[in-house]
A and B are shown apart, each in its own frame.
Chain A
């Protein structure tokens, strides 16, 4: 049996580094908020052939409308971002592009979100997070009827949320990943994925506690050995599906799938190496205090 719990310091260092990088990025660059939160317009056009972003920017800015960014996605599809616009301005933008492309502009998608939507979404997101986290907390507490198990499972959940938010701050800064309502959806889903593996592991600990007995460190090692293959294999199948979606699913769901992917990996890692490790450490400290 592998002594998983011997390397707790290493797990702590890994988690600290990953979360540290994310938190650093959060303070330095913040989050790259999408139109859902910030307001603004996105128009995706398909043009007959590729153009440089300078050409396209000039074409639109001639009409007197400022472009926030232009991004070529695949083939000759382009995503244009603007501050919130009026219906008439949308026509002007199209006409501006038609001038440089000889009328070969197909509109694929248009999103225009006014500034009043974002603040509401933020509030509703926070409410949803509070309800999810506390109902999962209640469920875990009810399941284990034990403070130590419950609290460490929830710390694992916060660990995964921080990893996801931090990594999206980095991905946002370097690769333009945006925080939109799909990201929020992924975040909420990850909360539950995170406790999924932890519950399976803790179930094993409690089962062995009744049958075999022994100190918690031994039981945790046993349970982790027993659940490791399952946990990895299950994550692999989820990762296969998500990777297929990231690579083949198109731009609209790419970042959503990546967010779920980051969360799945972090959730698999955090169950034994954050939650269970903390559980064992807590138990050891408690024992030391009692001895004195």
Chain B
């Protein structure tokens, strides 16, 4: 029979875990090219996606790293709502409705996975909109920021002293709006369709104003004022102004999503182009590899064989951490990568603490005992010391979205990677290297 000591069994388990994590950590496509001694291999290994079906439970995972706006490219927009004209008790509902309308608009604009959140601090109400991978931020911001209040108005008096009298027929009475091209001029316009109530109002309005202009106002400005030829039933109308196709498209999105119940203003914008993001990723990977190599070398030179054990622990740390980023998933940002690199530097701390202790204890007792004692004593210090960093990470990450703390994607990314790094380094620094050392030390004894 083949007998394994408990530490060896644990090591096997760790090895298994590491291999699973490595599988997840590696990029999906790995090109593999060999061209020597007449052998030519040129193929790409593709990792299959996880696609499990257990009864009704379906598990689908593609293990891709999720990159934040600063790495993948995209826009972070903050709008501030003007709540000065509504009573305080209605603000909350109004903001929520604004948020919903913005979300609809963004979805109709065709952005994948947008984030629309509200935040309020000292009476200032803001809506944060994150648009990944968007190129024309200016257009998106204009589309989101416009109130888009559509009102039909009667025109009273002669053209020189004409007065506009707004009616109750508004954008709220629409079922749908779409881009239409005028059949005679070919110019783009917006075709609208009223709901039942709107239809009744529109029919009455057109009947009353035959031969007169009927003004269509958007946010208080006249878009067009066609002369009514006859009473219109059937609930359809066309707004033809001097639109470009893009403008007509934006207007349909705004009308379909509904008007904003409060005026909003863009107060902050951060946009990162996809080129800069890709370069940042490359740079960070390079910095990470160089830093990692230096740490590995340093440990080897300073602690010899023990350093090698710490190095193995560190590589296992890096593999498990990356796998967890993909599994949780953690949205990786540039400061997030900095947090990861920082945690790599900190990960060997527990090993250093233990090894220094081990140097002292070795003179006093047998090696195996000295090892166990060093691990035991060092653990208290490591735990106590790291709790302060975890506290700070908690405040930076602001997981409960407290309004009195700042919420920023990049900073949150940093806090999460730092906290995860500390947690995993406790595991690899203690469990992995302890069991490795136990096995090695026992071998030496024999």
Contact = CB atoms under 8 A, between A and B. Distances in A.
B395 A244 contact: no
A226 interface: yes
Contacts of B360: 226
A14 interface: no
Interface string A190-220: 0111011101100110010000000000000
Interface residues of A, number: 72
A248 to B, nearest CB: 4
Contacts of B341: 241-242, 244-245
Interface residues on B, range: 35 or more
Contacts of A185: 335, 396, 411, 414-415
Given A181-B406, A248-B287, A192 B270 contact: no
A245 B388 contact: no
Contacts of B273: 106-109
Given A108-B273, A181-B411, A196-B388, A121 B406 contact: yes
A240 B290 CA distance: 9
Interface in A250-271: 250, 252-253, 256-257, 260
Interface string B325-362: 00000000011011001101110110011001000100
Interface stretch (A48-56, A95-103, A112-120, A161-169): A112-120
Interface in B241-282: 266-273, 275-276, 279-280
B8 interface: no
B295 A106 contact: no
A192 B388 contact: yes
B29 interface: no
B385 interface: yes
B78 A249 contact: no
Contact of B406 (A110, A124, A189): A124
Given A185-B396, A200-B381, A234-B348, 19 more contacts: A44-B276, A87-B266, A114-B268, A120-B121, A121-B406, A132-B391, A185-B411, A189-B392, A197-B385, A200-B353, A203-B381, A234-B349, A238-B346, A239-B345, A240-B298, A241-B345, A250-B284, A252-B70, A253-B284
18 contacts: A46-B275, A106-B275, A108-B273, A114-B267, A116-B124, A127-B405, A128-B396, A128-B406, A181-B406, A233-B352, A237-B345, A238-B345, A240-B294, A245-B287, A249-B284, A250-B279, A252-B70, A253-B335
Interface of B: 70, 78, 80, 121-122, 124, 137-138, 141-142, 266-273, 275-276, 279-280, 283-284, 286-288, 290-292, 294-295, 298-299, 302, 334-335, 337-338, 341-342, 344-346, 348-349, 352-353, 356, 360, 377, 380-381, 384-389, 391-392, 395-396, 404-406, 408, 410-411, 414-415, 418
Interface of A: 44, 46, 87, 90-91, 106-114, 116-117, 120-121, 123-125, 127-128, 131-132, 135-136, 139-140, 143, 181-182, 184-185, 188-189, 191-193, 195-197, 199-200, 203-204, 207, 226-227, 229-230, 233-234, 236-245, 247-250, 252-253, 256-257, 260
